[in-house]
Amino acid sequence: MILAYENDTIAALATPPGRGGIAIVRVSGENACAYFRALFTPAGQQQVESHRLLYGWLRDEKGALIDECMGVVMLSPRSYTREDVAEFHTHGGEQAAQAALHALYALGARPAEPGEFTRRAFLNGRIDLSRAEGVMSMIASQGEQSARAALRQLTGGTNAFIRTAQDKLTQMLAGVAAALDYPEEIEEDEAAGDVRMQAEKLADELLSACDERAARLLDTGFEVALCGRPNVGKSSLLNALLREERAIVTEIPGTTRDVVRGSLLLNGLRVNLSDTAGIREQAETVEAIGVQRAREVMRTSDLLLLVLDASQPLTAEDEALMRETSAYPRLIVCNKTDRGSVTQISDALPVSAATGDGMDLLRTAIARAAGTPCELPLTNARHMRLARKAAEHLQCAAKALESGAALDLAAIDLHAALDALGAVTGDQVDEKLLDGVFSRFCVGK
């Protein structure tokens, strides 16, 4: 695979815009060092050397002082993009960084596209496509567990697994070629049997490496819905779990009309909480819409917290909700224990959102229900889709050989499986795919 690009010089802000300690302006391309020397004057007798951070002054293309800052050049190939790279570490805020960019543009640099630095790193062979996507996953990670999954991808965990699978496929195809080229020395039936067993085993390995639930939890978090009849303290419970006043709390039934959301971290995993409208049948029009939305959230959540009022006897609405939610993963939470414990259910968690009693046990129970997403090699949706596609081709090849098909026909599916795996690492890739991957990156990375 060869994809060409213009080796022009690009520049962008590599840190978030706004106030901060420093702002980093990154430049990459054939003129990066020339632009650095034109704009940056080291203090004293410091010499510009690769990978040496210098203190000095940044001036615009006309010589006007922009900022007192730090600067560094990183010569090819020992840089992020494997091109010459320069950086200016200015004071944070809008003015200095933007002035530096305008000076670079005046010299001939152009604004970088989203993800263009990482795209150049891929095109120049410093990282494969799965590691490039790991960069974005690390930037977007929310919670320790998603960061660890991104780090495994970034440091080559996905690449190593796919490369091993590709090697096994290559060996299968070599066996097929040998059997076809030397029929007098290798029995085709024996070769077909070996390839069939290897194909079935590799297909199982690829499918076992995919875990949709774990990937979704790492990407978007564990979805928890608080449900119950009106005035059992769902909104108070949401606020207590989040340790902030997110939802409005009143004694008036039906205060919550729409879904109120918030997130927290439990055991390094992002947990998304949804406070829903109190469910009752005799609801006026607006409240009835909220009840309908509550039931939609309940159906799509990973876990329900069915909230009951511990200070009151069970009502018919409580019992109806207990029956309705019995088929869902759920925790029964008896709230308002500070007002007494009239309602007692054997497997319920007694809590008081008002005093905080039992809240740590509830957080522990939610974390236990979420579990720890297993550390499988494939946690990216695109990678899993391609791995399943490769497994399907392997299974087709195995079935064809089992039915007596010729080896060269099975080889078609083996080659298709190899192509699917190549799209994970970037061995088989086109501009459209790259545009789709890198368009999700932020500018400056």
Strand-pairing partners, residue 224, are 273, 303
Per-residue pLDDT tens for 277-327? Answer: 766 565 555 555 667 777 788 888 889 999 999 888 898 888 888 898 888
Contact 100, 114 (CB under 8 A): no
Q: Is the pLDDT of residue 2 over 90?
A: no
Q: Which residue has the higher pLDDT, 132 or 374?
A: 132
Whether 439 maps to a domain, the answer reads no
Query: Which residues constitute the domain of residue 391?
Result: 156-211+378-425
CATH code (residue 199): 1.20.120.430
Minimum mean pLDDT range among 144-148, 167-171, 350-354:
144-148
Q: Are residues 120 and 189 in the same domain?
A: no
Tell me if 146 is assigned to some domain: no
- Same domain for 235 and 345, yes or no, is yes
Q: In this structure, which amino acid lies at residue 250?
A: T
CATH code: domain of residue 314: 3.40.50.300
Half-sphere exposure of 397 (CA within 13 A, CB side): 34
pLDDT for 130? 77
pLDDT at residue 1 in the model: 40
DSSP-derived 3-state class of residue 348: coil
pLDDT digits (tens, 9 = 90+) for 100-121: 999 999 999 999 998 899 889 8
**CB within 8 A of 67, min separation 6: which ones?**
57, 58, 90, 91, 96, 99, 100
Give the pLDDT of residue 280.
Answer: 57
pLDDT of res. 296: 84
pLDDT digits (tens, 9 = 90+) for 342-381: 777 888 899 998 899 999 999 999 998 888 766 677 878 8
How many domains would you assign to the chain?
Answer: 3
**What are the C-alpha distances in Å from 391 to residues 157, 189, 413, 428?**
19, 23, 10, 17
Q: Domain with 74 in it: what CATH number? A: 3.30.1360.120
Among the listed ranges 25-29, 97-101, 292-296, 379-383, which one has the minimum average pLDDT value?
A: 292-296
Give the C-alpha separation, 125 to 106, whole Å: 30
Q: What is the band of 63 on the pLDDT scale with cuts at 50, 70, 90?
A: very high
Please tell me the least confidently modeled range out of 250-254, 263-267, 286-290, 393-397: 250-254
Higher per-residue confidence, 391 vs 44: 391
Domain membership flag for residue 147: no
202's tokens: 């590799």
Torsion angle, alpha carbons of 229, 254, 242, 352, to 10: -50
Are residues 258 and 342 located together in one domain of the fold? yes
How does residue 65 score in pLDDT terms, banded at 50, 70 and 90? very high
Residue 134 lies in a domain: no
For residue 144, being part of any structural domain is answered with no
Report the chain's mean pLDDT, rounded to a whole number. 84
CB burial of residue 23 (10 Å; 0-12, 13-18, 19+): buried
pLDDT on residue 373:
65
- Say if residue 237 is in the same domain as residue 287: yes
Is residue 430 one of the residues assigned to a domain?
no
Higher pLDDT, residue 156 or 298: 298
Can you say how many angstroms the Cα of residue 353 is from the centroid of all Cα atoms in its chain?
33
pLDDT in tens, 265-278: 888 788 899 888 76
Q: Are residues 192 and 265 in the same domain?
A: no
The answer to whether residue 431 sits within a structural domain is: no
- Say yes or no: 362 and 382 in one domain: no
Residues 366 and 382 in one domain: no
247 and 351 housed in the same domain: yes
- The pLDDT of residue 50 is 94
Instruction: Find tokens 């990678």 and name the residue.
Output: 383
Q: Does 168 lie in the same domain as 120? A: no
Whether residue 328 sits in one domain with residue 224 = yes
Shared-domain flag, residues 348 and 262:
yes
Going by pLDDT thresholds of 50, 70 and 90, the confidence category of residue 147 is: low
Percentage of residues in the chain with pLDDT exceeding 90?
38
The pLDDT score that the predictor gives to residue 211 is 75
Q: Please indicate, yes or no, whether residues 228 and 310 belong to a single structural domain of this protein.
A: yes
76: region left, alpha or beta (phi > 0 left; psi from -120 to 50 alpha) = beta
- Asked whether the predicted pLDDT for residue 170 surpasses 80, the reply is yes
Which residue(s) pair with 110 in the sheet? 10
**What would the mean pLDDT of 178-205 be, rounded to a whole number?**
81
Q: Find the helix packing angle between 381-402 and 407-425, rounded to 10°.
A: 170
Q: Closest Cα to residue 146, out of 213, 219, 212?
A: 219
Strand order in the sheet with 330-335: 260-266, 269-275, 222-227, 303-309, 330-335, 349-350
Tell me the whole-structure pTM to 2 decimals.
0.63
Dist. CA 337–CA 335, nearest whole Å: 6
